[in-house]
Amino acid sequence: MKLMIQKNELNDAIQQVSKAASTRPAIPILGGIKFEVAHQGLTLTASDTDISIQSFVPVESGERINARIDKPGSVVLPAKFIVEIIKKLPSDEIEIEVGEHFQTRLRSGSSDIQMVGLDPEEFPVLPQMDEHESFAIQGALLKTLIRQTAFAVSTSEQTPVLTGVLWNLQEGRFKFVATDRHRLASRVANVETAPEYRFANVVVAGRTLQEVSRLVPDQGEPVEIVVTDNQILFKIGRVLFYSRLLDGTYPDTSKIIPQQYKTELVLDTRRLTDAIDRAYLMSREEKTNIVRLITLEDGTIEISSSSSELGKVTEQLDAVRIAGEPLRISFNSKYMLDTLKAIDSEQLFIGFNGAMSPIIVKPTEHDHSLHLVLPYRTTG
Amino acid sequence: MKLMIQKNELNDAIQQVSKAASTRPAIPILGGIKFEVAHQGLTLTASDTDISIQSFVPVESGERINARIDKPGSVVLPAKFIVEIIKKLPSDEIEIEVGEHFQTRLRSGSSDIQMVGLDPEEFPVLPQMDEHESFAIQGALLKTLIRQTAFAVSTSEQTPVLTGVLWNLQEGRFKFVATDRHRLASRVANVETAPEYRFANVVVAGRTLQEVSRLVPDQGEPVEIVVTDNQILFKIGRVLFYSRLLDGTYPDTSKIIPQQYKTELVLDTRRLTDAIDRAYLMSREEKTNIVRLITLEDGTIEISSSSSELGKVTEQLDAVRIAGEPLRISFNSKYMLDTLKAIDSEQLFIGFNGAMSPIIVKPTEHDHSLHLVLPYRTTG
């Protein structure tokens, strides 16, 4: 294998794939990036067997020459070192040559680097997927769906399926649900699909979605998605992102969403967020993060928190609308802040069914998001 | 105590003093900020007893009103909470009122915060210093002196005096020396002082200097410095920074600086730094950070490092000047990089007296800096 490649192009592709390389590999090959040179260009792949990312650098893009291929071939090089050294090389061009026993030589300006390469035959094979059925979604919309739900996945491996986001797609209605049993975030969007195309109980790891979100440009061509029984593939421009789907049945959360409320509030999103943020600073001192919300007689609400050692924060807020029974409720301020930051509407609706029932938070401007936070059962 | 104060002014002063508050206080009062209100304005003080920082917010600056004093008095409030809550308060004005038992109330817009204040009588007293003798230095110059030396202090508490920077001042020649026994950094500058004003063996904690550097604006009035037997005071605009001096006698380093060299090099600073940075990436894998420098016959030098698992980096560099005996030497690349980043000259001089003697690094453009890095004793 031998090629000459532009540093920028190589560096971009390495940054794209490197997150799939294992940082503490069980075997050295899983901490590597596979370089495959063919006449069309260079393909880089990294894989920790759960997720695999592949990026392609074509020989030419339009009129720009990215690489010159002297000899096809392949090798696996250690990701950690490659990620850092490439961007620091002195020249804009890098020559890569693989010799016997995968000994690899990188030359750039005054730098001459010899590396112990590994046998590409030992590198994990990418999942074989039937790409017959797929659908596409705008990158910006996919990022929004991820941002508004993935924060609510569980970080505990006790119930692995909850570390992922539940996906359902039916009649072009694409739905994300995430919950860690303390709060729930859901978001729907309309996408164009083939008639009859549908899936249910597909659970995509939160980590996968965060990485996908990082790779999707804010503007650009739509992301193509292929879903099979146990794998998902995202096609993001020249990048292919494969991830194993999570096993297990996702709990049915549809029944815990109430259809009516005993107390309803409409509030300014920014003001409520800021007030709870201040109360959070006090609640944090007690570790429990407990913040209280009380409806007052005069059409306002009061947000408060206290710490035995530090004191008390009290915030009074005008409600845009307040209806139903008076209420005193306590909740985890950190969870509520996460939820409020996912609301993309100037005003929001909060619905309650008493101090022991889930708190429902929704934007007022559209009906695509629904969030839930469980209250604390406190006395007084 | 009662006052109304502009949020920005209060926030700036809190950010200035807060670094002196203890993050894990032995007693709660050391984790606090003392608020003292007099008719002229508000004085804030934080102290962990080693360092103390004080900042003053006058009632007026020029035509701007910063505060309105209703009742003088004082209280100590917890730094960690105060630092975060003040900048998040909703209104540009904050009212602070202290009631019985130092119960303190902060009001700003819709926020009402009650805090458990502490008795200011229990707060550490600032060192009493004879401010009769002092000298001044331009802020930017002081920052340069700190930046070019403080990185080389020891991080080990085994020899506490080496965690500080040695200061000497005589006939207006102000000198900084720092060493951790593996490398040494020194810098001199000329300052204006009263005739006969001098001091020697003053050792200022590295941590103090880093914090002072953070507080000194890039442009502004000169910093005034008062040195006594066991304390130092920096006057930085409205901020007073007190620090205990380190005890002990600083080792005499003057004898280890050679007067002549067997091998002399002049190199481009940027190119040498980049080449060693790349070799460092490889050397890091071996934990020892060993990088080799070899003079070659053709007027170039070779920088190299190797890792048994990863491979080898070789860098060839043209020397601007190369004189004396041929040389092979090994050193810690991390220490050398720190040193090179402190050189403010396009080219630098390196002097050697064989593979076992200290490496001397100096800028070529001026004679104010001198750096030393000990070589590794390696075979081959």
Asked if residue A122 has pLDDT above 90, the reply is yes
Q: Please tell me if residue A50 touches chain B, with a CB cutoff of 8 Å.
A: no
Domain count, chain A: 3
Name which of A102, A111, A118 to mutate to probe chain B: the one with the most chain B Cβ atoms within 10 A of its Cβ: A111
Inter-chain residue contact A314 with B111, CB threshold 8 Å? yes
In a domain, A62, yes or no: yes
Chain A residues touching B85 at Cβ < 8 A = 278, 281-282, 313
Residues B111, A81: C-beta atoms closer than 8 Å: no
- Looking at the fold, whether A294 and A195 belong to one and the same domain comes out as no
Q: Is A110 on the interface with B (CB under 8 A)?
A: yes
Residue A278 lies in a domain: yes
Inspect the interface and report whether the beta carbons of B315 and A282 lie closer than 8 Å: no
- B278 contacts on A by Cβ (under 8 Å): 85, 88-89, 111, 113
User: Is B251 inside a domain boundary?
Assistant: no
Indicate the pLDDT class of residue B380, thresholds 50, 70 and 90: very low
d(CA B34, CA B45): 5
Distance from CA of B369 to the nearest CA of A (A): 28
Q: Give the CATH number of the domain where residue B97 resides.
A: 3.10.150.10
In a domain, B281, yes or no: yes
- Whether residues B175 and B231 fall in one domain: yes
CATH number of the domain where residue A368 is located: 3.70.10.10
Residue A278: its chain B contacts at CB < 8 A?
85, 88-89, 111, 113
Please compute the mean of the pLDDT values over residues B105-109 and round it to a whole number: 98
The model's confidence at residue B377, banded by pLDDT at 50, 70 and 90, is confident
The alpha carbon of residue B53 is apart from the nearest alpha carbon of chain A, in Å, by: 23
Task: Write down the pLDDT at residue B287.
Answer: 82
For B196-233, what is each residue's pLDDT tens digit?
999 999 999 999 999 999 999 988 889 999 999 999 99
pLDDT band at B322 (very low <50, low <70, confident <90, very high): very high
How distant is the Cα of B103 from the closest Cα of chain A, in angstroms? 9
Q: Are B108 and B75 part of one and the same domain?
A: yes
Contact B81 A281 (CB under 8 A): yes
A275 interfaces chain B, CB cutoff of 8 Å: yes
pLDDT at A230: 94
Select from A90, A114, A310 the Cβ nearest to the Cβ of B312: A114
Closest CA to A191 of A222, A215, A231, A233: A222
Task: Tell which of B95, B122, B149 closes a domain.
Answer: B122
Q: Are B195 and B232 in contact (CB under 8 A)?
A: no
Set of chain A residues whose Cβ sits within 8 Å of the Cβ of B315: 110-112
Residue B324 has pLDDT above 90, yes or no: yes
CA of A88, closest CA in chain B: separation in Å?
7
CA–CA gap between residue B63 and residue A212 (Å, rounded): 54
Whether A38 and chain B come into contact, CB under 8 Å, resolves to no
Q: Which of B122, B154, B171 is the last residue of a domain?
A: B122
Which residue of chain A is at minimal alpha-carbon distance from B115?
A311
Partner-chain contact B309 A89, CB within 8 Å: no
Contact across the interface for B310 and A85, Cβ inside 8 Å: no
Dist. CA B179–CA B164, nearest whole Å: 9
Contact A89 B278 (CB under 8 A): yes
3-state secondary structure chain A: CEEEEEHHHHHHHHHHHHCCCCCCCCCHHHHEEEEEEECCEEEEEEECCCEEEEEEEECEECCEECEEEEECEEEEEEHHHHHHHHHHCCCCEEEEEECHHHEEEEEECCEEEEEECECHHHCCCCCCCCCCCCEEECHHHHHHHHHCCHHHCCCCCCCHHHHEEEEEEECCEEEEEEECCCEEEEEEEECCCCCCCCEEEEEEEHHHHHHHHHHCCCCCCCEEEEECCCEEEEEECCEEEEEECCCCCCCCCHHHCCCCCCEEEEEEHHHHHHHHHHHHHHHHHHCCCEEEEEECCCCEEEEEEEECCCEEEEEEEECCEEEECCCEEEEEHHHHHHHHHCCCCCEEEEEECCCCCCEEEEECCCCCEEEEECEECCCC
Q: Mark whether A269 and A194 lie in a shared domain.
A: no
Tell the residue number behind the tokens 């730098």, with chain if given: A111
Residue A289: the pLDDT is 94
Pair (A154, A237) in one structural domain:
yes
pLDDT (mean) for B186-196: 95
Tokens 């075997």 correspond to: A27
- Is any Cβ of chain A less than 8 angstroms from the Cβ of B222? no
In 3D space, the residue among B63, B67, B113 whose CA is nearest the CA of residue B90 turns out to be: B113
Asked whether the beta carbons of residue A116 and residue B311 sit closer than 8 angstroms, the reply is yes
Please report the pLDDT score of residue A293 as a whole number.
97
Residue in chain A nearest B275 by alpha carbon: A111
**Assembly ipTM:** 0.90
Domain-located, residue A28: yes
Do B143 and B237 belong together in one domain? Answer: yes
Judge whether B111 is closer than 8 Å to chain A, CB to CB: yes
Q: What is the pLDDT of residue B378?
A: 66
Question: Same domain, yes or no, for A222 and A261?
Answer: no
Spatial contact of B313 and A113, defined as CB atoms under 8 Å apart: yes
B111-129 average pLDDT score: 95
Same domain, A116 and A155: no
| A-proximal residues of B, 307-366, CB under 8 Å | 309-317
Q: Give backbone dihedrals phi and psi of A208, rounded to 5 degrees, phi first.
A: -60, -45
Q: Are residues A225 and A271 in the same domain?
A: no
**Between A and B, how many residue pairs show a Cβ–Cβ distance under 8 A?**
93
A99 and A69 in a single domain? The answer is yes
Q: B379 pLDDT exceeds 80? A: no
Mean pLDDT of all residues in chain A? 96
Does the CB of B277 have a partner CB in chain A at under 8 Å?
A: yes
Residue A378's pLDDT is: 66
Q: What is the pLDDT of residues A311-333, one digit of tens each?
A: 999 999 999 999 999 999 999 99
Residue-wise pLDDT for A19-77, tens only, equals 999 999 999 999 999 999 999 999 999 999 999 999 999 999 999 999 999 999 999 99
User: What is the structure's pLDDT at A183?
Assistant: 97
Question: Closest chain A residue to B83 measured between Cα atoms?
Answer: A281
Q: Cβ A313–B278 below 8 Å, yes or no?
A: no
CA-based nearest distance A278→chain B, Å: 6
Is B229 in the same domain as B268? no
**In-domain check, residue B128:** no
Q: Which of B217, B244, B271 is the last residue of a domain?
A: B244
Do residues B150 and B53 both lie within one domain?
Answer: no
Find residue B277's DSSP bridge partners: none
Interface check for A111 against chain B (CB to CB < 8 A): the answer is yes
> Residue A147: inside a domain, yes or no?
yes
Give residue A240's pLDDT band: very low, low, confident or very high (50, 70, 90): very high
Are B104 and B96 a contacting pair, CB within 8 Å?
yes
C-beta of residue A106 within 8 angstroms of C-beta of residue A96: yes
Residue in chain A lying closest to B28 (CA)? A309
Beta carbons of B115 and A310 less than 8 Å apart: yes
User: Helical H runs in B128-232?
Assistant: 139-149, 206-215
- Residues of A in Cβ contact (< 8 Å) with B317: 110
Question: What is residue A368's predicted lDDT score, i.e. its pLDDT?
Answer: 96
CB contact under 8 A, B315 and A116: no
CB contact under 8 A, A113 and B84: no
- Is B259 buried (19+), middle (13-18) or exposed (0-12) by CB count in 10 A? exposed
Tokens describing residue A302: 């009061």
Cβ-nearest to A275 among B110, B277, B317: B110
Q: Which domain holds residue A307?
A: 257-376
Assign B91 a pLDDT band (cuts: 50, 70, 90). very high
The Cα–Cα gap between A236 and A224 comes to 7
In a domain, A212, yes or no: yes
